[in-house]
Amino acid sequence: MSQGASEVPLSALRLKYCERKDAFLEDNIKVKNPFCVFRDWLELALKTPEILEPNAAALATVNPEGRPSNRYVLVKEATAEGFTFFTNYGSRKAEDIKSNPNVAISFYWLPLRRSVRIEGVAEKITAEDSLKYFHQRPRASQIGAAASPQSQRIPSRSYLDEVEATIKAKLGADGEVPLPNWGGYLVRPDLIEFWQGQTDRLHDRIRFRRGAGVESEVDSKLVHKGEDGWVYERLAP
């Protein structure tokens, strides 16, 4: 593909990241628990006007044939248990999770030059919790979820409009929207990595892990003991 005179080659793109004085150091982590670090980073992202959807994250799944897929979701809750998002239970991501619950989530907050990468196991939340959140959504979003057979082939855009119109007519102006095949997943993490970009490309990467046997790896040189069963380590960029 030829490049026009006004086009900038991708190889020439260079974004300035953080300076060395702003490096992300282990000493900056007051509580050696990744949920505490995530909460602090998220709070800053929420206060950064340039970040319009700080809860947007890329969710990666793998199907039974080992083929990966990736898409953005909105994380609606982040607690000490894990990270919750909602979707249609007939979607591709849901089908992937049914066969392989191991997933990965990545947040990227460009204005802060920060990213958080999470690996863990996804499980459905209770139907009661899904229903509670479903009815907290705007009514138009509830109807949209009921109208869309997510990830399935449809004949046209007008098909969705027709299904939506049928649902609206059936429910009337005030009828409660029944919960469709839709709900939440909780991702329980066993790995959370925090990345902060450096202009010299010697980026900061601090990874937390937990699980069977990880604490036996602690040597206080490469692997350090954290809190609540977590260990942490610095990775080369």
Annotated catalytic residues are: 201
Name the nearest CA neighbour of 103 among 90, 120, 83, 115. Answer: 120
**Buried (b) or exposed (e) across 56-88, using 16+ Cβ within 10 A?**
ebebbbbbeeeeeeeeebebebbeeebbbbbbb
Q: What are the phi and psi torsion angles at 150 (to 5°)?
A: -50, 135
Is there a contact between 33 and 45 (Cβ–Cβ < 8 Å)? no
- Sequential DSSP letters for 167-185: HHHHHTTTPPPPP-SEEEE
Residue tagged 């429910």 (tokens)? 171
Identify residue 138 by its one-letter amino acid code.
Answer: P
Name the nearest CA neighbour of 18 among 109, 116, 113, 110. Answer: 113
Beta-strand runs (E) in the chain: 56-62, 68-74, 77-78, 83-88, 102-109, 114-124, 182-196, 204-209, 224-225, 231-234
